[in-house]
Amino acid sequence: MDRARHERRYGLEILNEVGPGADPDELAFDPDLYDKLFKGTSYIDITTFNVWSREHKVAPVTMILRENYSSILTFATFLAGFQFVGLQFGGDGGDEPSQVLQWSSFLLVMGLIMSALSACCCVAVVEYLRFLEHEPPK
């Protein structure tokens, strides 16, 4: 598909950055990459497409994603802290704990595990994105 027909179809002039830190004069149109991002349904596809459409660059995407995953990391550790405190001070239930106390303890443990796992995943993603920001263009 040629460039003029592509621009008419989507109503946008999309440019592909040659590399991180490339000059604006060195931008080239890439319809295949545009189509893949336009049809993408994942969070990263949507964020990349929105930044690329607005700024005609891909470089700010890693910074935006790193900030978003850092926010998720903060929230996950916040939740894990409250779930841990809830488990520690939840009470022992006496000689024979009730069914409600057992279920609430089980749900708190599951929530703590999920929050801790999401925090660990976010740490790995944030570090990977930080590495990508400092990657040389070639």
Average pLDDT over residues 88-104: 76
CA distances from 69 to 55, 59, 109, 118 (A): 21, 17, 23, 10
Please give the model's pTM, rounded to 2 decimal places. 0.62
Average pLDDT, the chain: 75
Sorted by where each begins, the domain ranges of the chain are 1-58, 60-138
Residue 77 has a pLDDT of 93
Selected residue with higher pLDDT from 71 and 4: 71
Is the CB of residue 27 less than 8 Å from the CB of residue 15?
yes
Beta bridge partners of 16: 28
pLDDT per residue over 53-71, tens digit each?
Answer: 777 666 778 888 889 999 9
Is the CB of residue 49 less than 8 Å from the CB of residue 15?
no
Average pLDDT over residues 45-51: 78
CA distances from 119 to 97, 103, 104, 111 (A): 31, 24, 22, 12
Residues 6 or more apart whose Cβ sits within 8 Å of residue 13: 7, 29, 56
Which two three-digit tokens encode residue 57? Answer: 């660059």
